Amino acid sequence: MDTREVHEMAVEVMSKQQDLFQAVEADTAAVYALEDAKAQAIIDGSIIGKNAEEREAKAAQVLQPFIGQQRITKAKVAHAKMMLDRAVMNWERVKYTIRLFEVTK
C-alpha cells in the first residue's frame, strides 16, 4: 500500500462526507416543502374533515407528491450514511495496518 492509495482513501472519506451533507440538505428542503404545502392546503381549504382521521386521510391524498419526495430523500440520507460508514471503516483499516507495520519493524 503506497501513499497514493492512502491519499485516495482519505479523499473518498471526504467525498462521502460531502455526499451525506448534500443528502441531509435535500432532506431538510423536502421537509420544509411538505410543511409549506400542508400549511397552504389548510389555508386553501383542501384539507378538511369532521375529525382528525378524515383530515389526515385528506392530507395524505393531497400531499402525496411531497410525502413521496420526503421518503426518497430519507432513503438517500440512509444510503449516504452507510457509504460514509464503509469509507471510514476502510480508512481505519488502512490506518491500523500502517500502524501495525510501523510497530513490527
Question: Could you state, in order of their start, the residue ranges of all structural domains in the chain?
Answer: 3-104
Give whole-number Cα distances, 41 to 6, 27, 37, 55, 61, in Å: 53, 21, 6, 11, 11
Residue 105 in this model has a pLDDT that exceeds 70 = yes
Residue 1 in this model has a pLDDT that exceeds 70 = no
Average model confidence (pLDDT) across the chain: 93
Alpha carbon 12 to its chain's center? 17
Q: How much is the pTM?
A: 0.82
Give 50's DSSP letter.
Answer: S
Q: Which residue has the cell 420526503?
A: 70
